[in-house]
Amino acid sequence: MEFMDLNPPERILLGPGPSNVSARVMKALSSPIVGYMDPYFFDIMNQTQILLRNTFKTKNALTLPLSGTGSAGMEAAFSNTIEAGDEVVVGVNGYFGERMCEVITHLGGTPVRVVEEWGRIISEDAIEGALKNSKAKIIAIVHGETSTGIEQPIKEIAALTKKYDAILIVDAVTSLSGCELDVDGWGIDVCYSGSQKCINCPPGLAPITVNERALNTILNRKTKVPNFYLDLSLISKYWSETRVYHHTPPASMIYAIREALRVVQEEGLENRWERHRRNSQAFIAGIEAMGLKMHAQMDHRLPSLNTVVIPDGVSDASLRRRLLNDFDIEIGGGLGALRGKIWRIGLMGINSTEKNVIMMLETLERTLNKEGFHTNFGEGVKAATEFYNSH
């Protein structure tokens, strides 16, 4: 067998993640490795934690990038806070809410499901009803539901935690730095994310932040965290002044996320949220002008992940194949019940640009016409351009 040189195609990643990674971050990735007890590395770790705190908008001491993808963040959030037999109120309006229930049952917990249609937000009343009718002391909800394109309001749900003496776990894998998120201001107790979406770092790290209330829950467990690798009280000993070895940190990835977070900081969080919002709105204007429909509930659309209803008669697989083969553009198909029904078009981090919006609309329209869905050619780009000119 011949093993050829590695030569992956250069794609424009406008799917549900990963997103593209800048040359700056790729350069950081290839920097020399130092040992995990090297004072230079400690300095890089400290800086990474500060940048993460700024991005989550928190002062939580326990804020660090876990080794592993976003799922490691989810797994760590639940395995540290729940014990076998615990009930957890979970908002389920998409694939990742379902995934939370799955993780909870793996840990011997019982999800109390608050179900809503995929593509609609969950109301705080529904969450409160579940808290009243259960023994749950934990609420879990997805902020940016990547399977539906919903941006879930969090503040009102967070306000319930004091009244019911519960802690709130929020999945911010697709929302961190792509739309407003204020961990301390809203009162989120545990929040985790992934490196490969709006942060534009390769997949492989799961930033997580835990406040004092949640830390008390963790420190007062009756049983050990069932997972050594993700035990936050052990990991945090390495990520604090004691520097007790737990596992070898993936140094290159930590260099990379530090660099990616520096890019976030240079732009400014609020500016970044606004850029995502503006480009998503221009994209939606173009999509609707072409005669297509958005899937997610109006006024609750996630700017970093735009869901478009696939028009009747158009083949999902064939259109996505054409985009990939002819234009090197990746977009995502639907997950679970939405498979074949929607496209998921990510405008994440550095990929959320006017250039990408116009290019995506243009290529989507051309490809749709090839697939037999006829539009008034140019309407999409025209509407987006008008939006940019007036906003």
> Which parts of this chain interact with ligand PLP (CB under 6 A)?
16-17, 69-71, 74, 96, 142, 144, 146, 171, 173-174, 194, 203
| Closest distance to ligand PLP from the beta carbon of 291 (Å) | 29
Cα–Cα distance, 216 to 108 (Å, whole number): 21
Q: How many CB atoms lie within 10 A of CB 222?
A: 6
Q: Which is nearer to ligand PLP, 74 or 190 (CB)?
A: 74
Bridge partner list, 294: 308
| Closest distance to ligand PLP from the beta carbon of 101 (Å) | 13
Cα–Cα distance, 195 to 179 (Å, whole number): 15
Bridge partner list, 66: 206
Cα–Cα distance, 357 to 283 (Å, whole number): 6
Tell how strand 144-145 and strand 138-142 pair up.
unpaired
| Closest distance to ligand PLP from the beta carbon of 295 (Å) | 16
Q: Which is nearer to ligand PLP, 74 or 140 (CB)?
A: 74
Are 36 and 249 in contact by the 8 Å Cβ rule? The answer is: yes
Q: Which is nearer to ligand PLP, 142 or 285 (CB)?
A: 142
Q: Which is nearer to ligand PLP, 74 or 285 (CB)?
A: 74
Q: How many CB atoms lie within 10 A of CB 340?
A: 11
| Closest distance to ligand PLP from the beta carbon of 75 (Å) | 9
| Closest distance to ligand PLP from the beta carbon of 17 (Å) | 5
- Number of helices (H) and strands (E) in the chain: give both, helices first: 15, 14
Q: Which is nearer to ligand PLP, 173 or 282 (CB)?
A: 173
Instruction: Check the CA dihedral 336-181-153-155 and report its sign.
Output: positive
Q: Give the residue at shortest CB distance from ligand PLP.
A: 70
